[in-house]
Amino acid sequence: MSALLSVQGLTVRASGKTLVSDLSFSIGSGERMGLIGESGSGKSMTAMAITGLLPANISVTGSIVLDGQEVVGTEDKRLNRLRGVATAVVFQEPLTALDPLMRIGKQIAEPVRRRLVREQGRATRSAVDREVLDLLDKVALPQPERIANAYPHEVSGGQRQRVAIAMALACRPKLLIADEPTTALDVTTQAEILKLLDGLVRETGMALLFISHDLPVVAEVVERVMVLRDGIALEEGAVVDVFSNPSHDYTQTLVDAARMFDEALGRTGS
Ligand SMILES: Nc1ncnc2c1ncn2[C@@H]1O[C@H](COP(=O)(O)OP(=O)(O)OP(=O)(O)O)[C@@H](O)[C@H]1O
């Protein structure tokens, strides 16, 4: 069976600098994979390359086949059809995904309407409204009607991230890319959002590419992980193997740092 996402020899360059170098990996339907590395290691560049969202001054070579469609070198118009159908992205800062001047319900309604038209040939106002409220409920937002009528600045940061997740889910993508989705949140909210994402991904059977610099976070939601440093893949494998028996010193440093952090917080566990 062919992979949902197949990245082969991906290389990303800007102003003569190589930001991602000869990266290869694949994700099967329903599979959950993590991309981990320090700040600047090329994680976001990889995610942006997959969605074809990199600015024109950044060159991409290699091959990215997403749901049977080559992304590298494909014109934006064709990629637009792929975005939302094959993949949706949840970013670190939900405000990047939300229009500050549009009510939340209306923003979620748009991808819902497009999907209903695609799947059923039509989208009635009541069907769209019903689904918007269902989605807000699904991401455990209290009083879905109130949230639907609110503007993004009228809800909390954690609630905004739940809204961004609802928008991504509205598309029912085959692959969800979550790029540091909990980094901007306080620890309690982080844990809640992580639990929510984990539950939703398992429930819907979406594949997940989870990007983070935070090892314990990654370990909680994915089965397989790839470690990146300076745009180069250092190692890849099952989460338990990579974290319990890293083959690279750099990974060991990440593991040690996470352990020390946990100990400092008085948290135990593996
Ligand atoms: N528009 C750009 N033009 C040139 N270089 C860029 C651009 N955006 C990012 N970079 C560089 O690309 C490299 C990889 O950045 P990237 O954002 O992918 O890292 P990251 O691993 O996602 O880090 P973080 O966790 O901080 O988001 C960095 O050295 C960064 O400075």
Give the ipTM of the model, two decimals please: 0.93
3-class secondary structure, 38? coil
Q: Which residues line the pocket of ligand 1, CB cutoff 6 A?
A: 14, 19, 37, 39-45, 55, 58, 213
- pLDDT recorded at residue 267: 61
- What is the whole-number distance in angstroms between the Cα of residue 78 and the centre of ligand 1? 26
pTM score: 0.90
CB 87 within 8 A of CB 42: no
In Å, how far are 43, 109, 127, 196 from 124, measured between CA atoms?
A: 39, 11, 5, 29
3-class secondary structure, 183? coil
Nearest CA to ligand 1 atom 26: 39
| Positive/negative CA dihedral, 59, 62, 66, 68 | positive
- pLDDT recorded at residue 92: 84
- pLDDT recorded at residue 31: 95
CB neighbours (10 Å) of residue 199? 12
- pLDDT recorded at residue 270: 44
- pLDDT recorded at residue 183: 82
Contacts of 38 (CB under 8 A, 6+ apart): 213, 229, 254
Within 13 Å and on the Cβ side, how many CA atoms surround 242? Answer: 25
- pLDDT recorded at residue 1: 56
Cα–Cα distance measured from residue 153 to residue 55, given in angstroms and rounded to the nearest whole number: 28
| pLDDT tens-place values along the chain, 270 residues long | 579 999 999 999 999 999 999 999 999 999 999 999 988 999 999 999 999 989 889 999 999 999 999 999 998 888 887 887 889 999 888 777 899 999 999 999 999 999 999 989 999 999 999 999 999 998 989 899 999 999 999 999 889 999 999 999 998 899 999 999 888 788 888 888 888 889 989 999 999 999 998 888 888 899 999 999 999 999 999 999 998 899 999 889 888 887 777 777 666 544
**Alpha helix (H) ranges present in the chain?**
43-51, 76-82, 104-120, 125-138, 144-149, 157-170, 187-204, 215-221, 239-244, 249-264
Ligand 1 pocket, mutate which of 15, 43, 92 (most atoms under 8 A from CB):
43
Cα–Cα distance measured from residue 141 to residue 71, given in angstroms and rounded to the nearest whole number: 35
- What is the whole-number distance in angstroms between the Cα of residue 19 and the centre of ligand 1? 7
Nearest CA to ligand 1 atom 24: 39
CB 155 within 8 A of CB 144: no
Say if strands 175-179 and 87-90 run parallel, antiparallel, or are unpaired.
parallel
- What is the whole-number distance in angstroms between the Cα of residue 231 and the centre of ligand 1? 9
Cα–Cα distance measured from residue 14 to residue 42, given in angstroms and rounded to the nearest whole number: 12
Which atom of ligand 1 sits closest to the CA of residue 183? 25
- pLDDT recorded at residue 266: 67
